[in-house]
């Protein structure tokens, strides 16, 4: 990530995209420190704010920002449409308790997409929550 930011000359022009393996507080903290953009599919339901809530709690009540239709194909090649309800919310997420001496809470925007209505033939249901450093 640091090399890409240095090579670009402007870290804010970069967008780093990663899967669940990158849901590591040190990686996220480094991205915020570099002032770069990132999108990481999360695997940890971290605490936010004063530790009273988790990301899941916040996203349950977050406003719906839009509904998007995705044209998909099933395993047999038949067309279908998945309707995704997208929610987003900016929060301060807390580091894991065992790492709080090393890391500060981080400002991030969480994006959550969930399929609504009849489930598309391809069988997707929950589209994972993501970290994102950019505003929505």
Domain parsing of the chain, residue ranges? 2-132
pTM: 0.73
Q: List Cα–Cα distances, 26 to 44, 56, 58, 100, in angstroms.
A: 14, 21, 23, 11
CATH 3.90.350.10 for the 2-132 domain, yes or no: yes
88-113 pLDDT, tens digit each: 999 999 999 999 999 999 999 999 98
Region 8-17: what's the mean pLDDT?
94
Q: Please report which confidence band the pLDDT of residue 83 belongs to, taking 50, 70 and 90 as the band edges.
A: confident
Structural contact between residues 105 and 93, judged by C-beta atoms closer than 8 angstroms: yes
- Identify any residues that bridge with 47 across adjacent strands, giving them in sequence order: 54
Residue 121's pLDDT is what?
Answer: 53
């Amino acid at each position: 990530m640091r090399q890409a930011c240095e090579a670009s000359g402007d870290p804010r022009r970069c967008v780093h995209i990663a899967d669940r393996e990158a849901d590591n507080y040190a990686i996220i903290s480094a991205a915020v420190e570099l002032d770069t953009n990132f999108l990481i599919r999360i695997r940890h339901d971290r605490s936010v704010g004063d530790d009273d809530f988790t990301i899941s709690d916040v996203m349950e009540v977050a406003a719906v920002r839009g509904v998007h239709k995705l044209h998909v194909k099933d395993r047999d090649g038949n067309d279908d449409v998945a309707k995704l309800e997208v929610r987003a919310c900016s929060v301060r997420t807390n580091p894991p308790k065992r790492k709080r001496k090393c890391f500060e809470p981080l400002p991030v925007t969480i994006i959550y997409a969930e399929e609504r209505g009849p489930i598309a033939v391809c069988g997707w249901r929950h589209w994972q929550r993501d970290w994102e450093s950019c505003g929505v």
